[in-house]
Every structure is written in C-alpha cells, then in structure tokens.
Chain A
Amino acid sequence: MTAPVPPALTTVVVVDDSPVQRRFVRGAVEADPDLTVIGEARNGKEAVALVARLRPAAVLMDLDLPVMSGIEAIEQIMAASPTPILVYSAHVAGVESANALEALAAGAVDVLAKPGPDHTGSLDEYAHQLRRRLKVAARIRVITHPRGKLRTQVLAGLPWLQAEPGWAPEPAEVRQGVALIAIGASTGGPQALHTLLKDLPADLTQAVLVVQHMAEGFIPGLVAWLDQLVPLSVLVGGGGRRLMPGTITIAPSGANLLVLDDRLRVLCQPPDAGQFHVPGIDQCFGSIADALGPDAIGVLLTGMGRDGAVGLKAMRDRGAVTLGQDEATSTVYGMPQAAFALDAVERQLPLDQMAPTLLSLVGRAT
C-alpha cells in the first residue's frame, strides 16, 4: 500500500520594495496550505534573476519598483523564463488603468489593485482575493514573449505565432450581409485583441463588438490603449446606443451588453445572479444569435473558463460563421476549447489568421 502523494505546492515569488508588503503577502499567501512563497525580490532586477533561478509557479509583482520597473521586469521574465505573473499595484485602477493594460501587454496574466485609503473592503477579503487570483494565475500556461511586448513590427517574427511550413488557412467563402463581428476574450485577451484588431482596416463596413472580461474600472484604459494602436475607432458601449459600422465597441464592465435587433441597437443589462464573468460573453453572443442570425460572425479568443462557448454555439446554430483561437496561440485555451468541444467553432485558427479570415469572409481582399 502506498502513501497518498501530497499535492504539489504552488510556489510563488513575491516582488515588492516594501518589507511590510512582502511580510503581509507572505502571510496572506501561506495561509493557504497549497501555496508557498519560495523567494522575495525588492526590485525588478532582483526579480528577473530570482525567477530564472527558482522557476516558481507564479510571480506576484508590484509595478512601482526601484532599480528596474515592474513593466521592464515583466518583459524580461516573459522573454527569458516565462512565468504567470499577477501584478498587484496601487497604480492600476481608475484613471491609472492604462498601467494595467501596459502590464498585460508586457505579458502579465492578471492585474489586482493594491488597496489604499479609498479601499472599502477588509484586509481579510483582500488576502482571500490574493490567494484566489494567485492560484488561478499559477494554472495558466504562458508562452515566451521573445522581446517582452507584443509589438506590431515584431509579431511576424515570433516563432509561436508562425504557422507550420506550408500551412495556409482554407480560403473563406464570402458571406453576404454580415453586419457585425463579435469577439469574446478573457485571460490574454488584450494582447490577442491588439493582434487581431490592428489588421482590420479603417474603412471596414461592419461593426465590431468586443466583450473582454475585465474588472470594474479597467475598460476605459483598454479602450484608450487600443484606440491608439488600431486603425478603427474604439469606444465603450452603452445602453440605448447603436453599434456603428467601422467602429469597435467594447462592452462596459459591470453589465451584460445585449444586441437588441438588426439595427444594432444595444442594451446594458445587470448581470444574472451568481454570474461569474461580467460582462458575459454568453449573454452577448446569445443576443446576437437572436438578433442577427447568419448576419454576424462570432470569434472566441483566449481565456480561462467556459464563458462564450454556449453563446457561440447559439450563433452557429442560427447560421453565423464562428471562429475559435487555436491552442498553440492561446495564452489560455480554456474558452476556445470549451467552444470547440461543444461544436460551436466552425473554424479554429491561429491568432494571426483571424483578421485575414474575417476580411475574406466579409469580401475584403487581404
């Protein structure tokens, strides 16, 4: 008879220049018997060396660090020793949410606001959230970012984005009457959205709707960030408005954005009781299936969990073309995999083939 094998501990490296924060985080993290802190770094430079040496399951990192900034450290870690990084910083919420997007673009998998004087929750709640988010982050399979950031000019040279030799997507049949391209994304989404949306031309005649899982307050930063990087205009959606051709609308946080009819009018609806992901991709895609039937295209990108699979299936069942991101290029192959398993995905594609395929489908030469 063999003794039961204890589950492997999730190892964590903490990066913060404050001894108070490091002590607090160590106590909070190790209150969970499945988590252990195996190293502490006081600045970005120490973090890069420590992560390379210890190879933890996850890194918890502040952004405002001496010697080397958190963003630069994330880039270097993701280039040399890819590790899921959860950023916790006081500079990622509200008007500073652009910092969160920058961290995600550099390769961090999640961002948590470090509490301060305006925080209304308790220390216990914050500690609980730290543990929960760390455990989720540690399960994420990350990939090397050879130069840290996914810069446009570098994308073509990234080996993980390149298709196998000789591979080419099947030509997409042109679909007449498509009015809306709907995209759902979660973990890894901001980088993936940038990669896809940068290749949609400014004179696109379809409306684009994006549902990205994101905590309250981060959507304006995502919108501002994308708006600088992609040819189409990017704005936050709101109830009572219409989705406009040639415009990317990002669903706001805190509600589900539903498409009401073929005039592309939208409604913001409070989340369902117990709904985990807000804004919900399933709810949005389901409304599009009802409102537009075959006159929409659904795209499900990288993300943890299952949100979007049921909604994408509804779209496919109503005649829409549906695309899912493939495993090789997904930061997390959870949502696309769930959709694929549900037979909701008509075509599974590498990320860099999404935009060319969409343009082929709407009759635009690429």
Chain B
Amino acid sequence: MGADTACVGARALLRGEFAEEIADRLPHFEALRCFPGQAALELARRDAHTLASSAWVVGEPELSRVAREVEHQLPGGPLDELLSLLRNWTP
C-alpha cells in the first residue's frame, strides 16, 4: 500500500475526529444567535475558519464552502445554512 493510499484510507478516522470537533464548536455558533457580541463574533470566525479547512480534509466540500463564507461574512453570511449542516453531524 502506497503512502498516498494510506493517507486517503485514514480519512474515515478523520471523520470521527471531525464530528467531535463540530460538537465542540457548534455551541459557539448557536451562542452567536443569542449573544452577538464582539467576543462571540471572533470565536465564531475562528471556528468557521477551522471548520472550513477541516471539512475539506474529511471530504465535505459543501460544508467547507459554507464555513468559509461564514468566516468571511460574519456577522452576516449563511450562518443558518452552516448551523443546519453542522447539526447533521451531531447525534
């Protein structure tokens, strides 16, 4: 098995890690809905930034795109769409 094949094979493990990352960060976006202060905005921007890259790595280009849009457009942007996509990952 080549190095690259092994790398791709590891993606399944990454998806489990990604679900945990979403569980950690989802409350920050939900909090932004209730307490849209500067600190919450900054936290959500950082979370969206991280999720955009992580989603690409685990093979979720649509989630990656929406997270990147939210990162760049906060406090506007498709926050509801992002929340909907993220909730699909929670139990």
Please report A residues at the B interface, Cβ cutoff 8 Å.
17-21, 23-24, 27-28, 31-32, 64, 66, 90-91, 114-119, 123-124, 127-128, 131
Contacts and interface: CB of A to CB of B under 8 A. Distances in A.
B81 to A, nearest CB: 13
Given A19-B20, A19-B21, 9 more contacts: A20-B57, A23-B17, A64-B49, A90-B53, A91-B49, A115-B56, A118-B68, A123-B8, A123-B11
A127 B64 contact: no
Interface size bucket, B side?
Answer: 20 to 34
B7 A127 contact: yes
B17 A128 contact: no
B61 A117 contact: yes
Interface of B: 3-4, 6-8, 10-11, 13-14, 17-18, 20-21, 46, 49-50, 52-54, 56-59, 61, 64-65, 68
Given A116-B64, A117-B65, A24 B10 contact: yes
A24 B18 CA distance: 11
A117 B52 contact: yes
Q: Is the interface of B mostly helix, strand, loop or mixed?
A: helix
Contacts of B58: 20
Contacts of B7: 27-28, 31, 123-124, 127
A128 B8 CA distance: 12
A90 B71 CA distance: 11
A24 B57 CA distance: 8
A28 B8 CA distance: 9
Contact of A31 (B3, B20, B57): B3
16 contacts: A18-B21, A20-B14, A20-B17, A20-B54, A20-B57, A23-B13, A23-B17, A27-B10, A31-B3, A64-B49, A114-B53, A116-B64, A117-B65, A117-B68, A119-B56, A128-B4
